[in-house]
Amino acid sequence: MPDWLIATGLIGAVLFGLLSAFFPPLNAEIYALAAPVIFPDAWVLHVCAMTAGLVVGKMSHFVIADKGAEAYSRRREAKEAREAAEPRHPSGPIRGRLTRWSKAMIDVLDRPRLGPLVMLGSSAVGFPPLAVVTVAAGIKRVNMVLFFVVTTVGCLGRFIVTAWLVARGMSLGQ
């Protein structure tokens, strides 16, 4: 395969990862599935490049959430003050459970052992969704380096395993 095609593909991989961080229908797993088929000799490089783009995009979400945490706190306090003054309307049981689950997840993120496990699970398995965990970690002001490392390891592991399974399946089929 020509070097220029591999280089162009790497730039495309980074851009795909970056765009998938902002536009969920561009699913990063799809790229990991396609990389061994399109670039059979260099799929590891392409998956790493795509993961780098994805993590850079997620880091931008993290930073924005971190910077907006103070404004978020002020708005929430004002909302809670308004809600305390107004009569409460009953919410459904599903909404109540989701609210409790979201609060519990955010509360756990700043714990020294459970927080990184939630981040690793989110990036390696996809549950809870990485987009939600990213914003929640930014709001909780989790250590940025810790978030970056754990997210990179989890995402890279998930995408490398996915692409390896495709590459392995292709080699068994020949």
**Number of structural domains, the chain?**
1
pLDDT over 70 (residue 88): no
pTM of the model: 0.79
Q: Give the lowest-confidence range in 61-65, 68-72, 160-164, 169-173.
A: 68-72
Instruction: Identify the pLDDT of residue 120.
Output: 94
pLDDT tens for 116-144 read: 999 999 999 987 789 989 998 998 889 99
How far apart CA 26 and CA 93 sit, in angstroms, is 33
pLDDT beyond 80 at 22:
yes
Residue span of the structural domain in which 122 resides: 3-173
Mean pLDDT of the 5-20 span: 88
Mention every residue, 6+ apart, whose C-beta is less than 8 A from residue 54: 17, 18, 20, 21, 28, 155
Mean pLDDT of the region 147-167: 97
Question: To the nearest whole percent, how much of the chain has pLDDT over 90?
Answer: 52
Whether the predicted pLDDT of 100 surpasses 90: no
Res. 26: pLDDT tops 80? yes
String of b and e for 53-68 (b: at least 16 CB within 10 Å)? bbbebbbebbeebbee
168: pLDDT confidence band, cut at 50, 70 and 90? very high
Rounded CA-CA distance 169/107 in Å is 41
- So what's the pLDDT on residue 73? 74
